Chains A and B, each alone.
Chain A
Amino acid sequence: MNRCPSCLLRFVSVAILLFVHHCIGILHAQEMFPVNGVHDKRPAVYAFTNARIVVSPAQTVNNATLLIRNGIIEAVGTSVTIPTGTIVYNATGKTIYASFIDIDSEYGMPVVPPEPFTFGPPQIESKQKGAYYWNQAIRSEKNAHQLFTIPPAPPVPPNLPPNIPPPLSQAAEYRNAGFGAVQTFPHDGIARGVACVVSLADAKENIVLLKDRSSAQYSFNKGTSRQDYPSALTGAIALLRQLYYDGQWYNQFLQKQEYNITLDAFLAAQKLPQIFDAGDDQNILRADRVGDEFGIQYIIRGNGTEYQNVRAIVETKAPLILPLVYPQAYDVEDPFDAQIITLPEMKHWELAPTNAAAMEKAGINFALTSAGIARKADFLENLRTAVRMGLSKEKALSALTTTPATLLRINDRIGSLEKGKVASFFIASGDIFEKETIIHQHWVQGIKHDATQPDMVDIRGTYSLTLSGDVQANYTLFVSGTTDKPVVDIQKSGDSTKYKATLDRNASNVNLRFTTDAKSKQDITLNGSTENFTTLLTTAGQPVVWSGKGRMPSSAWVNWTATRSQLFEPKPAPADTTSITLGTVPLPFHDFGFTELPKQETVLIKNGTLWTAEADSIMTNTDILLQNGRITRIGKNLSEPLARIIDAKGKHITPGIIDEHSHIAISNGINEGTQSITSEVRMGDVINSKDVNIYRQLAGGVTTSHLLHGSANAIGGQTTLIKLRWGSAPEQLKFENADGFIKFALGENVKQAHWGDFNTVRYPQTRMGVEQTILDGFTRAKEYEAEWKKFNTLTKAQQAQTPTPRRDLELDALVEILNKKRFITCHSYVQSEITMLMRLAEQFGFTVNTFTHILEGYKVADKLKAHGASASSFSDWWAYKAEVIDAIPYNGAILNYVGVNTSFNSDDAEMARRLNQEAAKAVKYGNVPQHEALKFVTLNPAKMLHIDNRTGSLKVGKDADVVIWNDNPLSIYAKAEKTFVDGICYYDIERDAQLRTGAQTERSRLLQKLLDAKRSGKPVQKPVRRIFTDDHYHCDTVER
């Protein structure tokens, strides 16, 4: 039955015209609407018989009947009595599924075009008029159900040829992909308000709104807000955190002193399911951590990369929402351009379809969404691919039906085909996970919507065809193929040859064209119909008799009759025996990731030259034992039976290098420089454990890095200290129990000297203003602390009568500084500003822990010493801006000479690989003794970070953070051969060679697979060169 497209077109138009009737007829919910004309209420009772009904993912009934009345399921099963007056659909051979639910959509939401980006001064304050929250990215007052309108039908292109169907409505696209309901909400902002659930019936809003308040929605993306804050991920997280505290504070207030629409709505939505659109695998962990702080278990929307971080994601215990977005294959026929595609990108191309299966295997509860797939029509194909890659059909179904329904607490109404539930289901030609299966009809809320071949009539079988009249002949007609695309063969009686014929069917009308004359190839054309078509619709296996008139090539007219003598017996599809080869998932997901993480070892390194960074100085021909992650013995001729022995004769052993100032391993921005004080932001929130710079720096002997906020503002964010445990999840990188630090900054970056002419608005623009900004911060912090102290001295009863002070995360961090519980590392260059900050700190009774950069430190070395600050400098950078014009490479030597604890840092992912060489520059410029100079990058930074009890020198009891070098570590000729962190060998020059080879082999395999994909006709994308392949941050890098 090759359905005639123009007929379909007509069918669709009729359906659209009719749906209003349907609604009025079926659904009582619109009763209050006046009717223009006579009332037209119809019975609306339907039965679907002889079907395979998937009642729920776990329960399938064969040869069953589904009975619905007025949009609600009345009965389902094998012994359903069909009342009289029921319209019956024969669904023999068909499978009925509960409509899918897409938990993530923007269906029917207003399209808000973002304000175009213009060059101009920053927008510091909210432009939102009214009693709302101070930040435009917090939009909790948005209620999707109030915003929802049925999307208008897409315009029909003018001059559309009659054989081209008009574009489908959004709802029809969803329905054709199996969806009968969606959760929808505006995807805009960090707090996005409350979502609603609507059905995809072609009916009025009043009918389709199934649940008005289904969940509260959040993300890390500020969306259309052009307000400056937040600009970085770390700021977005800080804003969210503050929102929760503001909500608590606002809620506790007995007598509200101010009114806030946003916070009211935010609080009201707390009882709902809380959904977080996080993004990639690491953002899932971040979202979950925010939730943990406030006792909230978010349902988290991922992006399909979860398989790269399974273990950590399992630990979140969060239900997930997973898209089925698979990257297009890459065109790698140009071997050079192919270089642009990274191995992780290639691997993701291969493994993205395995993501859902991996989540199922890991026992994670998840819903699937079609969001992100460019064409809804591709959804089913992607779903089938996921199943082919190991996702069980049952899980796939529950992830599209019962799971989203349960997560949204609407499982009493939708998600399965049980009595009393909304009659939303689709009728498929077979198993929906099979490639050829089509959806015939999609009923939503009891309203029929047609998809492919909606009459479901199966005319396949063997027919005897007789021509009579002037020409008489007998034929056998074999109709096979699928119900919507039958294949016809014809054989003339007495002839053993089969010929192809074409059959067009439009409902009960058929056209047949064929020839059995191999020589002339002249066609016979027949037209006819069947009289029992209505029976065919409702009853299975009826005999079919077609008859009509036809024209012979000779111009003679004939009569014809075709009678089905035998039903078509489909052959079972051959089992797919092609085995699927897939790559492994390294940790982290990178060329140099580990298939198996290296383990802690007992290692005895023998006969090396130990640079202890302790009073022992350099010890030649000495052994060092690493056990349980610690250095347990140092001495001559040690032995330990269980230890792996490393012969280090001729080698040099040093403590692991510590970088006091680093910006590696951070996601989405190091500067929340939009306000002058952002002490509330935390770099610990945004650790990126996949950054290859971790591995590169291990190869340079680095074991600990202090990840700083940038220098775009006077009081920047809280820092985080990590050990370079390559392959571990972000939280596992954190240096355990380390003191908290915070980045301050002074000078040109803070006053935006290099930001262009528009950026002359944010206070401060001079060093005078920098002092006042910091002074103001600490003054407020002191008052804030006093306010809290006063409140905390009150009795419970008194407290109940007193407004609680507002928890302010920005001031919390400053109070910690005042109380010597958090420590400053301050970006600084010139002597004036350095002295200023010391005096300011002294005024408040604390010490500036570290001045970082401090290139004019040598001018005030005595003052630094007296104040008690440490100095962390560049070895030899200068001349890149006005405030470094007096920088000298002797800075470190002078500071050290005066007695200031001095280190050299990198602030640069490249230089951090060679900090040992930078230390050597203290020997060259200023004659610092070699052993002293090495301390510039080991013990001294350990001291300034308060971790010298743990690391920074070779001392029994300290962490086994140890590097083996092939040469004097200060020499240009030195190479790190092994780098241990906690006694685990994370870098080994020999294993590195294997990792490289392995990565190349894997790359070759995937290149071939990509070439094969292109050859087999898969669409491919051209590699496009990206300017920045890595996030490479310096302290003045600002996110745009």
Chain B
Amino acid sequence: MRTLFSSLCTLAFCGLAYFAPLTAQIPQRSTPQATPIALIGATLHVGDGTTVIDNGTIVFDKGVITALGKETEVTIPANAERIQAKGKHIYPGFIAANSILGLSEIQAVRSTNDYDEVGDENPHARALVAYNSDSHIIPTIRFNGVLSAMTVPQGGMIAGMSSLMALDGWNWEDAVLAPDIAMHIAWAMVPRLKTFFAEAKAYNSAPQDKKNLKLEAMRAVFAGTRKLIIEADDAKAILQAISFAKEYGITPIILGGAEAWMIADNIKQAGVSVILRKTHRLPYRNGEAADQPYRTPSILHNAGVRFCLGSNGSWQQRNVPFEAGTAVAHGLPKEQGVAIISSNVAQILGVDKTMGTLAVGKDATLFISTGDALDMLGNNIEHAFMKGRKIDLMNKQKFLYDQYIKKYQR
């Protein structure tokens, strides 16, 4: 046993030795904004779905946007750090609406996965506390302009509670933007789900001698202070899920929504929002039009449905801007393409007071791209700020690139 134990230790140390230098260097941790910063002369994509300010300037201080407008109309404080951004584009930080970031490092390696708890009913499970703010994946995500993310538990009938995280922070307490913001359920095992809700409702409508952690976790859902996100793709399932939630006086958010386009008017009428999962996916049904997933956003937009665009998984989140770009290629107005991964996400999650658009008083969570951030040809982030903090855009992959390209350039 001793031998086995020591060899296990050796293995563990090998692992550490392997990752240690990278963790130490990449990337630099950010520090609070010390002086006002002005980004000057750029195209400002406000993120509200329509507004673009050419030759715009934006100023922020102590993490909050203090001014923005035409370059000629914005007064820049004398002590401000001035960053020239002529010909470049500034966007509100994109928000990944559906991810397992920080909950999974290597999908095939069980020991690195923390998103799927045992059992079908886990309303009490909190993604927040499992969030690894030092995941090597996270820096590669913000490298493309995605600066915050919902980190979402998976699996079962009730997966647990998600939190909205800043993709920058020393630890999860540091990184959290909105803790335990939503409860995630899947529209499956419906009879059991209905029973669970009935019992949870009864439990929470009377004083209880003995606490039940599962039922307790539902209290905020019934009180309306925690969002209810129901995963459903079939048109019929979506309609059923909505009417189910409404029975409890809850206006749910639909996650998935592959067939939401078929029932867009009903969704709008119900006042329900949709987190559309991916445009880069295969048609939902064998005979569905090849480009249906690409066109769904524009259909929902034209129908007036409030929706945003999410993705799946962890490392894939860096492609969220391009998934939005595809929606634009297939009929969604360009600034709406920005909105569905910024302000619409913030609105749907109820955090739009501080996030989602470039507006005075909101957090200075934004970035400068040399080109169109929704296009691979333009997405090139030069500076990114999280509540005014400068984010180091270096990541493990860029680091390796720099190492090896130098090797071959010698």
Contact = CB atoms under 8 A, between A and B. Distances in A.
Interface stretch (A10-18, A654-662, A679-687, A889-897): A889-897
Interface string B372-410: 001111011000000000000000011011001100100
A970 B329 contact: no
B282 A880 contact: no
B380 A880 contact: no
A878 interface: yes
B109 A882 contact: yes
Interface in A806-823: none
A590 B290 contact: no
Nearest to B330: A975
B377 A975 contact: no
Interface in A856-895: 858-859, 861-862, 876-882, 885-890, 893-894
Nearest to A968: B377
Given A336-B235, A1029-B286, A1032-B282, A876 B401 contact: no
Interface residues on A, range: 35 or more
Given A897-B405, A910-B281, A972 B322 contact: yes
Given A336-B234, A881-B108, A881-B109, A910 B282 contact: yes
B287 A343 contact: yes
A993 to B, nearest CB: 9
Interface stretch (A80-88, A156-164, A432-440, A923-931): A923-931
Most chain A CB neighbours (cut-off 10 Å) among B330, B377, B380: B377
Contact of A972 (B285, B326, B405): B326
Contacts of A859: 404
Contacts of A888: 397-398, 400-401
Contact of B329 (A861, A913, A973, A992): A973
Contact of A342 (B235, B287, B319): B287
Contacts of B89: none
Nearest to A888: B397
B287 A591 contact: yes
A972 B328 contact: yes
Given A879-B106, A926-B401, A975-B330, A996 B289 contact: yes
B107 interface: yes
B108 A882 contact: yes
Contacts, number: 142
B180 interface: no
B325 interface: yes
A886 B395 CA distance: 12
Contact of B376 (A748, A893, A911, A920): A920
A1027 B106 CA distance: 26
A841 interface: no
A879 B137 contact: yes
Contacts of A832: none
A894 B379 contact: no
Contacts of B285: 339, 342, 1029
A974 B329 contact: yes
Contact of A970 (B283, B330, B376): B376
Interface string B280-300: 111101110111000000000
B105 interface: yes
Contacts of A974: 329
B157 to A, nearest CB: 17
Contact of B408 (A337, A897, A973): A897
A906 to B, nearest CB: 12
Given A879-B106, A881-B107, A886-B400, A924 B286 contact: no
A696 interface: yes
A296 B250 CA distance: 69
Nearest to A748: B108
A310 B214 CA distance: 60
B29 interface: no
B401 A890 contact: yes
Interface of chain A: mostly helix, strand, loop or mixed? loop
B286 to A, nearest CB: 5
B282 to A, nearest CB: 5
B290 A699 contact: yes
A457 interface: no
Nearest to A884: B106
B236 interface: yes
A879 B325 contact: no
A916 to B, nearest CB: 10
Interface in B321-365: 322, 325-326, 328-330
B318 interface: yes
A692 B315 CA distance: 28
Interface string A902-933: 00000001110110010011011110001000
B162 interface: no
Contacts of B379: 924
A619 interface: no
A879 B315 contact: yes
B314 interface: yes
Interface string A993-1014: 0001001000100000000000
B106 A881 contact: yes
Most chain B CB neighbours (cut-off 10 Å) among A590, A592, A926, A1029: A1029
Interface in A557-610: 590-592
Contacts of A858: 400-401, 404
Contacts of B380: 924
Nearest to A927: B380
Contacts of B136: 879, 885
A1030 interface: yes
A972 B375 contact: yes
Nearest to B397: A888
A7 B374 CA distance: 83
A1013 B104 CA distance: 52
B401 A894 contact: yes
B402 to A, nearest CB: 9
Nearest to B278: A910
Contacts of B235: 336, 339
Contacts of A971: 375-377
A589 to B, nearest CB: 12
Interface in A167-216: none
Contacts of A591: 286-287
Given A879-B107, A886-B400, A970 B282 contact: no
A880 B107 contact: yes
A894 B287 contact: no
Most chain B CB neighbours (cut-off 10 Å) among A753, A858, A879: A879
A909 B376 contact: no
Given A879-B107, A1029-B285, A973 B325 contact: yes
A336 B137 contact: no
Nearest to B395: A888
A878 B20 CA distance: 20
Contacts of A485: none
Nearest to B144: A924
Contact of A914 (B236, B280, B314, B318): B280
B286 A1030 contact: yes
A975 B322 CA distance: 14
Most chain B CB neighbours (cut-off 10 Å) among A753, A924, A996: A924
Contacts of B315: 877-880
Contacts of B400: 858, 886, 888, 890
Nearest to A995: B289
Contacts of A1020: none
Given A753-B108, A910-B282, 14 more contacts: A342-B286, A696-B290, A861-B408, A879-B314, A879-B315, A881-B106, A888-B401, A890-B405, A894-B408, A910-B281, A917-B322, A920-B377, A921-B376, A1030-B282
18 contacts: A336-B235, A339-B234, A878-B397, A881-B108, A886-B400, A887-B397, A890-B398, A890-B404, A894-B401, A911-B280, A914-B326, A926-B405, A970-B377, A972-B326, A972-B377, A974-B329, A975-B329, A1029-B285
